Structure 1
Amino acid sequence: MRPPERWPLHPAPAETESLSSWLRRIAASYGMYSYELLEHGLGHRELSDPDLNLNPPMHLLEELAKRTGLDQHRVSAMTMAGWVPWLFDSLDLAPDAYETYVHQLSVLLPPKRRNIYTPRKWLPWLPEAGARRGCPDCLEFSPALLLVWQLPVIASCPVHWCRLETYEGHPPDYIRWTTPAHDQRPLPKSLSLMDRRTWQAITTGSVDLPRYPVHAGIWFRLLRTILDELTTAQGRYGRQLDDVRRVWEHCGHPFRAGLYSWQPFETLHWTAQQQLLEATAAAMELIEAGSLTALGTSAHLLRPEPSPLISDGTPRGPLTATAGAQEKPTLDELLKQATDALDACIAAAKEDPVVAKQLFDFARYGCRGDQSLRGLRQTFAELQIPLDFLSQTENQRPFA
């Protein structure tokens, strides 16, 4: 007997929940383990949690979408592969991946100031040692494990404003929190703000920065750039060394997180990764406040838009000497100005033949024949403007 195409029980996935967590919750609805659901409900071999969350077979995602009625893109978003190209350029290893991803932007240091490292088998944000992290408050009410918790891209819960803690076990069956006491410090406001921006990037695809919103892909690369700049060899800082030291003093951690030699962020222990994330948040806070010099080409994204100059009402010149002069003139006022100007021209033309000729030439633009020209001459005669200059232009025709 064929199983029904649509499963009668399939709890909705939580926002950014991992595929392994969702499958575990679906299997629990039928009193099964997730590997049993894969085998008997989907006809698929057992896959480990990292395999499910990284890049599972496409046909498995298609079958899950069919059995649950979810859009396939929504199912794919529960895997790392579904976050390409926002969080990752690609999940395929490439020799120039580090340079392309990390050195494309610059914030604290000028371009090309950092060493061009090319670590082997590198992918952004994927830790070499898998760690189980989560929000105690979130897991108290729901067993859903978020995909973003598995990456060292975020250190706090943007919903409950608390640090993520490490644990052992598989919620909800068993969980034991293992975060050391020294990692249970109060959450800095700068780190909370940075993590909320990261959460916004993951859930909406863009981030509101002080100057203007940027695409999520820009945010993740900007974040990874500063992490790299804060661990650059000390000799590369130049005159920026004092500024970088101030960042570490501001967050209260050892310079360069105590590293004696450079290592990719992804290979570090979670304790060092937390310190680097806090230092990155502190750098962003200082740049945004205008108290830290940043010579990188992308530093302007973290600075607020310059405040426009607003007049305090003080007159600045003769045109603004009175409130009335600042107002737009009315039609009657414009007509009066034109009439006064014409009267002044007529008065000058009566005395100066040159002005008379200029006024006549200006007026003849409207003439379209001999009769119109004769009428113009009659008007000048009535205004008592001498027409002596016409003897020199008698043979000239009006403009057609």
Structure 2
Amino acid sequence: MRPPERWPLHPAPAETESLSSWLRRIAASYGMYSSELLEHGLGHRELSDPELDLNPPRDLLEELAKRTGLDQHRVNAMTMAGWVPWLFDCLDPAPGAYETYVHQLSVLLPPKRRTIYTPRKWLPWLSETGMRRGCPDCLESSPTLLLFWQLPLMASCQVHGRRVETYEGRPPDYILWATPAHDQRPLPEPLSLMDRRTWQAITTGSVDLPRYPVHAGTWFRLLRTLLDELTTAQGRYGRQLEDVRRVWEHCGHPFRAGLHSWQPFETLHWTAQQQLLEAAAAAMEMIEAGSVTALGTSAHLFRPEPNPRISDGTPPGTLTASAGAQERPTLDELLKQAADALDACIAAAKEDPVVAQHLFDFARYGCRSDQSLRGLRQTFAELQIPLDFLSQTENQSPFA
């Protein structure tokens, strides 16, 4: 059987462009609609834009990679499925998903302070409203639609430094913006900084925080945790209530974005979502400045590294060499601690498939090719760690 011929025309996808947008631009190169390209160019049934961008058939993605010469991982990254397990744990709503994603970390409030909700069919960041968002300046010059405009992850465009707005229609044929350009509110610097961090997570796989860099998967969950803490019922804040009120006063929005009863962030209107994103950015700024009390286990990530010579009142130059030597472990001691920890992880992974999956996900962060991934699988096999979970985690890193 002859392999499919390479398409002569196939415009390169833009950074983080959605699959539906890319297909539409390819089809336009041939004077076709994307539905015609799917049917006649790929022998595939018509799929809606949400179906293409969420979790399209794997054989379609493979065929597109062959027809365009694009790397398979790059094609996958144009869909939400390509961002499992970094942005999503999975794309199948499951019991306890909210607790797993939103309550593993804590920032403002101590662990267990918040009420654990169990919204039905919940997935992080994804909503069923079908609201269209985009940057007016971007869409004025190009019909390219970014995958992450579909998610309430960022409130601003990193290219033009302006707010992302909602619209009706389908670019470039027709578009009606909800907010006229002259009515745009200025972009607060804390929100701009938070959005730059989110964009860094999307494009590089890690985020530079005041204390040290964190993996993109950690950043997405930190942000979603903080959004949940800011909508927690008033009675759960305890002595921190005044601190949380000051966060909302600092960003100029009503307490809890005006919510009278709890709702998942994903179900809120874009106006309320923007207010919550601004409050989260303000909270990060105030934690870093030390102007609010943050008792969560991950709050330290937003505080600068302390200077022990200043914070404990010791004048510079008075620390003795012997005291420093006692506090700092040697390189051999650090290497032994790391080796012991790795041995413990391997032993646990042999017995517990959940631990095995977490260890595999952690190890493959550095895999940048199919060859390196095959080498990792071979290593797990040699260590006698079961790989039964691989059928659920076949997708490669979108950062590769």
Q: Does 1:114 align with 2:120?
A: no
Q: Counterpart of 2:296?
A: 296
1:282 has 2:282 as partner: yes
Match of 1:203 in 2: 203
Between the aligned partners of 1:214 and 1:317, the Cα distance in structure 2 is 31
For residues 230 and 64 of structure 1, the distance between their equivalents in structure 2, rounded to whole angstroms, comes to 42
Size of the aligned set, in residue pairs, is 318
Q: Which residue of 2 aligns with 1:336?
A: none
Decide whether aligned partners of structure 1 residues 35 and 281 sit closer, same or farther in structure 2, where only a CA change above 3 A counts. same
Structure 1 match to 2:159: 159
* 1:337-365 residue CA offsets vs partner (Å, 9 max, x unmatched): xxxxxxxxxxxxxxxxxxxxxxxxxxxxx
Q: In the alignment, which residue of structure 2 is the partner of 1:134?
A: 134
1:210, 1:302 within 8 Å by CA — same for their partners in 2?
A: yes
CA distance in 2, matches of 1:318, 1:109: 38
| 1:316 CA displacement | 5.5
Q: What is residue 253 of structure 1 aligned with on the other side?
A: 253
Q: Give the Cα–Cα distance (whole angstroms) in 2 for the partners of residues 183 and 226 of structure 1.
A: 29
In structure 2, distance between residues paired with 1:291 and 1:181: 35
How do 1:177-188 and structure 2 match up within 5 A? 177-179=177-179, 184-188=184-188
Deviations 1:8-66 (A, max 9, x none): 00000000000000000000000000000000000001000000000000000000000
Give the whole-Å Cα distance in 2 for the aligned partners of 1:224 and 1:124.
8
TM-score, length basis structure 1: 0.76
Alpha-carbon distance in structure 2 between the residues aligned to 1:133 and 1:276: 17
2:126 alignment partner, SS class: coil
3-state SS of paired residue (1:273) = helix
Aligned equivalents of 2:182, 2:264: Cα separation in 1: 24
Deviation at 1:180, TM superposition (A): 6.5
Q: Over residues 289-348 of structure 1, what are the superposed CA-to-partner deviations in whole Å (9 max), with x where a residue is unaligned?
A: 1111100000001111113538999886999xxxxxxxxxxxxxxxxxxxxxxxxxxxxx
2-side partners of 1:55 and 1:191: how far apart? Answer: 30
Q: TM-score, normalised by structure 2?
A: 0.76
Correspondence for 1:366: none
The Cα shift of 1:181 comes to 8.0
- Give the whole-Å Cα distance in 1 for the aligned partners of 2:172 and 2:320: 77
CA distance in 1, matches of 2:261, 2:96: 21
Corresponding residue for 2:52? 52
Match of residue 6 from structure 2: 6
Tell me which structure has the larger Cα radius of gyration. 1
Quote the offset at 1:160 in angstroms: 1.2
Structure 2 Cα separation of the partners of residues 229 and 279 of structure 1: 11
- The CA distance in 2 between the partners of 1:195 and 1:225, in whole Å, is 16
Equivalent residue runs for 1:254-333 within 5 Å? 254-307=254-307, 309=309
The residue type paired with residue 255 of structure 1 is F
In structure 2, what is the equivalent of residue 28 of structure 1? 28
Unaligned segments of structure 1, at least 5 residues: 320-400
AA at the equivalent of 1:67: R
C-alpha distance in structure 2 between counterparts of 1:43 and 1:260, whole Å: 50
Change (3 A) 1:60 1:289: same
Name 2:346's counterpart in structure 1: none
CA change 1:36–1:253 in 2 (3 A) is same
Aligned counterparts, 1:218-257, within 5 A = 218-257=218-257
Higher RCO by CA contacts (8 Å cutoff, separation 6 or greater): 2
Counterpart residue type for residue 291 of structure 1: S
For the aligned residues, what is the CA RMSD? 2.2
Identity of aligned residues (%): 86
Aligned partner letter, 2:11: P
Quick one: distance in 2 between partners of 1:306 and 1:316?
17
CA distance in 1, matches of 2:231, 2:317: 53
Report if aligned partners of 1:201, 1:207 keep a CA contact under 8 Å in 2: yes
State the one-letter code of the partner of 1:137: D
**Cα distance, 1:128 vs structure 2:** 2.1
The alignment partner of 2:175 has SS state of strand
Aligned residue number for residue 392 of structure 1: none
Distance 2:320 2:139 in 1: 70
SS in 2 for 1:262: coil
Alpha-carbon displacement from aligned partner over 1:49-101 (angstroms, at most 9, x marks no partner): 00000000000000000000001110000000000111000001110100000
Cα 1:29/1:111, change in 2 over 3 Å: same
1:131 Cα deviation after fit:
1.1
Match status 1:102 vs 2:102: yes
Alignment of 1:135-150 (within 5 A): 135-150=135-150
> Deviations 1:219-274 (Å, cap 9, x if unpaired)?
00000000000000110000010000000000000000000000000000111000
For structure 2, list consecutive stretches of 5 or more residues without a partner in the other structure.
322-400
Distance 1:302 1:3, change over 3 A: same
Q: Which letter maps to 1:235?
A: G
- Contact 1:183/1:271 (<8 A) preserved: no
Q: Residue 79 of structure 1 aligns with which residue?
A: 79
Residue 141 of structure 1: how far off its partner (Å):
2.1
